[in-house]
Amino acid sequence: MSELFQLVEIDKIPDFFEGKLAVNLATEKINITKAKARVLARDIISQIDLPPFSRSTMDGFAVKAIDTFGASESMPVYLDLVGEILMGEEAEQEIKAGQAIKIATGGMLPKGADAVVMVEYTETLGEDMIEVFKSVASRENIVVKGEDIDQESLLLKQGHLLRAQDIGALAGIGITEVEVFVKPVVTVFSTGDELVAPEESPKLGQIRDINTYLVGSLVEETGGTVNYGGIIADNKEELKNKIGASLKNSDLVILSGGSSVGTKDLTIEVLNELGEPGVLVHGISIKPGKPTILALIGDTPVIGLPGHPASAMTVLKIVGTPIIQKLAGQELNQFQGSVSAKLSRNLASDKGREEYIRVKLVKENNQLWAYPILGKSSLITTMVEADGLVKIDLGKEGLDQGEEVQVLLF
Ligand SMILES: Nc1nc2c(c(=O)[nH]1)N[C@H]1C(S)=C(S)[C@@H](COP(=O)(O)OP(=O)(O)OC[C@H]3O[C@@H](n4cnc5c(N)ncnc54)[C@H](O)[C@@H]3O)O[C@H]1N2
Ligand code: MOO
């Protein structure tokens, strides 16, 4: 029996789009409170040193480290206590040889001091003397001016997806507004005569549209703005008109259903008629998700996902994510969430396809186990139960029970 599709390997997919996508890198300025998961449009170079002054990282006494050398429980060093630095105040008093100044965590280090002795290793003798029981090295228990972020240094690069810690760092150097790329607009359609909107009551033979909402939510999560296009019947004119109209205001169009072989599967025909170069890929070597379509109409990419919900989600996650990230201006090598776990059972695999197994993660005696969920890809609950996907590489016959696997988290 002949293969129905000419399968393309996942690794080859970027080549089809290389240099051909219209990446609209318009920018907008937004407050950092709205910047989580947005993509930086400019490098961020710090205009200041952080911290702007050297500070203590411990409660204790600012000292010259050299004065404490040799100090021990049995042979303490005695230093003159000459003052106290108040939090949030400038340290005006300079420290001289043989002196110490009381300081709290975060307090400004006085001139002349190069270390802090923790209070635990001291004893106060009256008002103006301390005993030090442990020596400190220069720079111990302090952060020096600019140690966190140097003035003129590059903090974050253009294309960086902003995370909580990045936004905190921006605040730390006084940046409250950032220029980010405008999110790409992704139009999402579901196709099929059997589909009805979720608020409708389906007749026998009909089912509610799952993919519009599954795909739309995943697109949002990946950094796109969703334009909900609704359901398209398996009707050539309607397909052509709706997809055609959406191309004008979309950076990417995602369809689901109508990608497999069948009398009603008109998507290929329509995509080829809508413009050059048309369908680039029909069938990829992935399981689930083989009957995926990738097309380019002018410079707008179109992804035709398989109709089965678990397949649609798997393909969008694996193949769609890098396309959306590219359109969003995001650098592509930023770490994606995954954890390692041990596989709970043997898994056989189709050698000819890269396979993605849905797994549930369970912690047993401090060991994380990945339990495969082996339902059909038409069952949305196989995804609901799953925490992520385990990949079985192309050409591999399977994985063994107890094998360490990486779980790509949802
Ligand atoms: N003879 C063959 N039949 C099929 C093959 C094949 O290679 N040879 N591939 C199978 C695989 S794998 C999949 S996946 C599906 C893909 O089918 P399509 O992408 O053409 O999608 P449809 O036929 O329209 O639908 C498949 C299935 O999914 C349901 N569906 C579709 N859209 C939605 C939606 N928005 N929400 C919920 N469910 C949806 C649809 O009702 C069908 O049950 O083809 C296999 N067949
Ligand atoms: O490969 Mo199809 O995409 O689920 O079962």
Q: Is the peptide bond before 202 cis (omega within 30 degrees of 0)?
A: no
Q: Does 141 sit in the ligand 1 pocket, CB within 6 Å? A: no
pTM value? Answer: 0.89
Which residue has its alpha carbon closest to ligand 1 atom 39?
A: 307
Residue 209 CA: which ligand is closest?
Answer: 1
The DSSP result for 22-74, as a single string, is -----EEEEEGGG-TT-BBSS-EE-SS-BSSS-EESSSEEEE-GGGGTT--SS
Cα–Cα nearest to 253, from 238, 267, 243: 243
pLDDT beneath 70: ranges in the chain? 1-5, 260-265, 333-335
Distance from residue 287's CA to the centre of ligand 2 (Å): 6
Cβ–Cβ < 8 Å for 276, 298: yes
Which residue has its alpha carbon closest to ligand 1 atom 9?
A: 260
Cα–Cα nearest to 279, from 251, 244, 303: 303
Distance from residue 242's CA to the centre of ligand 2 (Å): 25
H helical segments located in 84-235: 164-172, 211-222
H helical segments located in 96-210: 164-172
pLDDT at 24: 86
CA 192 – CA 228 distance, rounded (Å): 16
CA dihedral 154, 160, 163, 169 (to 10 degrees): 10
What residues pair up with 277 in beta bridges, in sequence order?
297
CA 118 – CA 62 distance, rounded (Å): 9
Which strand (E) or helix (H) includes residue 272?
helix 267-274
Atom of ligand 1 nearest to the CA of 288: 12
Strand 404-409 vs strand 293-297: parallel, antiparallel, or unpaired?
A: unpaired
Which residue is associated with the tokens 């495969």?
Answer: 372
Share of the chain above pLDDT 70, in %: 96
What residues pair up with 114 in beta bridges, in sequence order?
none
Domains of the chain: 4-26+182-327 (3.40.980.10), 27-50+147-181 (3.90.105.10), 55-143 (2.170.190.11), 338-409 (2.40.340.10)
Which residues have a Cβ under 8 Å from the Cβ of 345 and sit 6 or more positions away? 371, 372, 401
Q: Does 258 sit in the ligand 1 pocket, CB within 6 Å? A: yes
pLDDT digits (tens, 9 = 90+) for 263-283: 456 899 999 999 999 999 999
pLDDT digits (tens, 9 = 90+) for 315-345: 999 999 999 999 999 987 666 789 999 999 9
Cβ–Cβ < 8 Å for 91, 107: yes
Name the residue of 290, 305, 356, 392 to mutate for ligand 2: max ligand atoms within 8 A of Cβ.
Answer: 290
Burial code of 54-76, b = ≥16 C-beta within 10 A, e = fewer?
bbbebbbbbbbbebbeebeeeeb
Q: Residue 285 has which token pair?
A: 């070597």
Cα–Cα nearest to 61, from 8, 112, 2: 112
Atom of ligand 2 nearest to the CA of 308: 4
Q: What is the CA radius of gyration of the chain?
A: 30
Please state whether 382 falls in left (phi above 0), alpha (psi between -120 and 50) or beta: alpha
Residue 2 CA: which ligand is closest?
Answer: 1
pLDDT at 1: 36
pLDDT at 25: 87
Cβ–Cβ < 8 Å for 358, 347: no
Distance from residue 389's CA to the centre of ligand 2 (Å): 15
Which residue has its alpha carbon closest to ligand 1 atom 10?
A: 260
Cα–Cα nearest to 281, from 298, 312, 304, 264: 304
Atom of ligand 2 nearest to the CA of 312: 3
Atom of ligand 2 nearest to the CA of 287: 1
pLDDT at 2: 42
Please state whether 268 falls in left (phi above 0), alpha (psi between -120 and 50) or beta: alpha
Residue 229 CA: which ligand is closest?
Answer: 1
CA 108 – CA 94 distance, rounded (Å): 12
Q: Residue 175 has which token pair?
A: 């940046």
Q: CA distances (Å), 54 to each of 103, 145, 240, in order?
A: 12, 4, 65
Q: Does 260 sit in the ligand 1 pocket, CB within 6 Å? A: yes
Is 408 strand, coil or helix? strand
pLDDT digits (tens, 9 = 90+) for 142-165: 999 999 999 999 999 999 999 999
Distance from residue 377's CA to the centre of ligand 2 (Å): 6
Helix/strand/coil percent split, the chain, to 5: 20, 35, 45
CA 51 – CA 338 distance, rounded (Å): 33
Is 293 strand, coil or helix? strand
Distance from residue 110's CA to the centre of ligand 1 (Å): 71
